[in-house]
């Protein structure tokens, strides 16, 4: 079973983390999609995904993250990734997604 921790910081800031996962895989992405469906109104919210323990993201994980960026633009909520480990940052750069995912240093 995938362990996703969900914490509210104030009324409009939701933080997701993965205390028992090291990989943001297809299974994690599927569970995150389900979690996002449970949030009826995202407008004016801030959604943070804490990748502190994630050492690898597969193609389904990146697909989910890119979809989140698009949904944030469409539904007008803030989305951010935090505590991204160097291994994941390297994958993001290899896929040229640093600008899309907001991980670029000199944008």
Q: How many domains does the chain have?
A: 1
21 found inside a domain: yes
- pLDDT of 107: 44
Domain extent, residue 13, equals: 5-94
70 found inside a domain: yes
- Yes or no: say if 83 and 52 are a contact pair by the CB < 8 Å rule: yes
102 found inside a domain: no
Alpha carbons 91 and 98: distance in angstroms, whole number: 9
Cα pseudo-dihedral 53, 55, 59, 62, rounded to 10: 50
- pLDDT of 41: 83
Is residue 6 helix, strand or coil? Answer: strand
81 found inside a domain: yes
The CATH number of the domain holding residue 68 is: 3.30.750.24
Please list the rounded mean pLDDT of every run of 10 residues in the chain (107 residues).
89 94 96 92 92 97 97 94 96 94 69
Alpha carbons 49 and 16: distance in angstroms, whole number: 5
104 found inside a domain: no
Alpha carbon 19 to chain centroid, angstroms? 14
Q: With both helix axes pointing from N to C terminus, report the angle between 26-37 and 59-75 in degrees, rounded to the nearest 10.
A: 20
């Amino acid at each position: 079973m995938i362990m996703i921790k969900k914490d509210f910081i104030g009324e409009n800031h939701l933080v997701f983390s993965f205390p028992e996962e090291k990989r943001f895989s297809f299974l994690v992405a599927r569970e995150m999609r389900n979690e996002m469906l449970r949030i009826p109104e995202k407008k004016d919210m801030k959604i943070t995904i804490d990748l502190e323990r994630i050492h690898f993201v597969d193609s389904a994980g990146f697909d989910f993250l890119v979809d989140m960026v698009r949904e944030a633009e469409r539904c007008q909520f803030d989305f951010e990734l935090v505590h991204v480990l160097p291994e994941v940052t390297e994958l993001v750069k290899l896929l040229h997604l640093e600008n899309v995912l907001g991980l670029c240093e000199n944008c």
